[in-house]
Structure 1
Amino acid sequence: MKSVAKVMRPLSQLSLWLAGAGLILMTVFVAAQVFVRYVLNDSIVWSEPAAVILMGWFIFLGAAVGIREGNHLSFDVLVMFIPEKAKLIFYSLSDLVVVAFGFGMAWYGAQLMIAGWHIKIPSLGFSDSVNFMPLVGGGILMVIFSIERLARRAAGLPTARFGETSIED
C-alpha cells in the first residue's frame, strides 16, 4: 500500500500544481481582457472561452485532490457519536459514493466529449470536446483517489478527514 501512495502522492501534487497554474493563467487572461477592453477599447476574442476551459480544469483537478486529502466538507454529526469501527464503515460508504459519482462524471463527460468532437469553438479553433475533458479527467482522478482511500482503510492505514491535519503517505 505504501508503494501505491508513492505513486498517488506525485499524481495528486501534479494535479494540484496544474490546477494552481490554471487558476493563475485564467486570472491573467481575464485581467488582460479587462485591460484591453476598457483601456484599449478592443477585445481578445479567445480570452473568455479559454478562461472557462481553464476554470473547468482547476475546479475538477482541485476537487479530486480535495477527495484524496480529505479536504471536502462533510456532515460529521452522526459519526461524532458512534464507535470507531462504525465510523470506518461510514467513511468507506462515503468513499464508495464518491467512486460512483466520479465514475458518472467520467462516463457522461466522455459521452459529451464524443458528441461535441466535430463542433469547433470559433475563437479558439479547438473542438468543443475540450470543454468536457475536465469532467473526464477529474472523474477518473476522483475514482482513483477514492479507491486509494478505501484500500488504505482496508489495510488499516489512516486517511485524512476534513478538519484534520494531513497524513503522511
Structure 2
Amino acid sequence: MEKIAIGMSLVARVALLLACAGLILMTVFISAQVFMRYVLNSSLVWSEPAAVILMGWFIFLGASVGIREGYHLSFDVLLYFLPESAKNWLFSISDIIVTAFGFGMFWYGGQLMLSAWDVTLPSLGISGAFDFLPLVGGGALVMLFSLERLARRAAGLPTSRFGDVVEE
C-alpha cells in the first residue's frame, strides 16, 4: 500500500504542476491577445480557443487533486455529532458517489470526444476531440483518487479529512 500511496502522490503532484503550468500559459495567451488586439490592432485567432482548452485542463486536474487531498465541497455539520465509525461510513459513501461521478465524466466525456473526433477546430487546426480530453482525463483522475481514498480508509489509513495528515 505504501508504494501505491507514493505513486498516487506523484500522480497528484504532476497533475497539480500541469494545472499550474496551464493557468500560467492561459494567462500568457490571453495577455498576448489583449496586447495584439489593443496595441498592435491585430489578433491572435488561436489564443482564445487554446486558452479555453487549457482552462479545462487546469480546472479538472486541480479538482481531482482537491478530491485526493480532501478539499472538495462537503456538508459537514452532521459529522461533528456522529461517532467515528459512522463518519467513516458516510465518508465512504461520499467517495463512492464521487467515484461514480468521475466515471460519468470519463464515460460521457469520452463519448463527446469521439463524436468530435472528425471535427477540426479551425483556429487551431486540431481535432475537436481536444475540447473534451480534459473531461476524460479529469474523470479518470477523480475515479483514481476516490478509489485511493476508499482503499486507504479500508486499510485504516488517514485520508486527509478533518485534520488527518497523509504520511507519504
Q: Same fold (TM over 0.5)?
A: yes
- Aligned counterpart, 1:127: 127
Partners of 1:53 and 1:97 lie apart in 2 by: 27
Asked if 2 retains the 8 angstrom alpha-carbon contact of 1:69 and 1:166, the reply is: no
Q: CA deviation at 1:164?
A: 3.4
- Aligned counterpart, 1:168: 167
Secondary structure class of the residue paired with 1:158: coil
Secondary structure class of the residue paired with 2:104: helix
Asked if 2 retains the 8 angstrom alpha-carbon contact of 1:102 and 1:143, the reply is: yes
- Which AA in structure 1 matches 2:128? D
Q: Superposition pairs for residues 19-168 of structure 1, below 5 Å?
A: 19-161=19-161, 164=163, 166-168=165-167
Give the share of equivalent positions with the same residue, in percent: 64
Q: What residue ranges of structure 1 are gaps of 5+ in the alignment?
A: none
Asked if 1 retains the 8 angstrom alpha-carbon contact of 2:26 and 2:55, the reply is: yes
Partners of 2:71 and 2:2 lie apart in 1 by: 21
Which TM-score applies when normalising by structure 2? 0.97
Q: CA deviation at 1:165?
A: 6.5
Partners of 2:124 and 2:5 lie apart in 1 by: 38
Asked if 2 retains the 8 angstrom alpha-carbon contact of 1:36 and 1:44, the reply is: yes
Partners of 2:84 and 2:133 lie apart in 1 by: 39
CA offset digits 1:136-169 (Å, max 9, x no partner): 00000000000000000000000012x6365223
Q: CA deviation at 1:74?
A: 1.1
Asked if 2 retains the 8 angstrom alpha-carbon contact of 1:30 and 1:48, the reply is: yes
RMSD: 1.0
Q: CA deviation at 1:2?
A: 1.1
* Paired residues, number: 168
Q: CA deviation at 1:6?
A: 1.1
- Aligned counterpart, 2:16: 16
Asked if 2 retains the 8 angstrom alpha-carbon contact of 1:30 and 1:47, the reply is: yes
- Which AA in structure 2 matches 1:164? G
Asked if 2 retains the 8 angstrom alpha-carbon contact of 1:15 and 1:62, the reply is: yes
Q: What residue ranges of structure 2 are gaps of 5+ in the alignment?
A: none
CA offset digits 1:96-135 (Å, max 9, x no partner): 0000000000000000000000000001000000000000
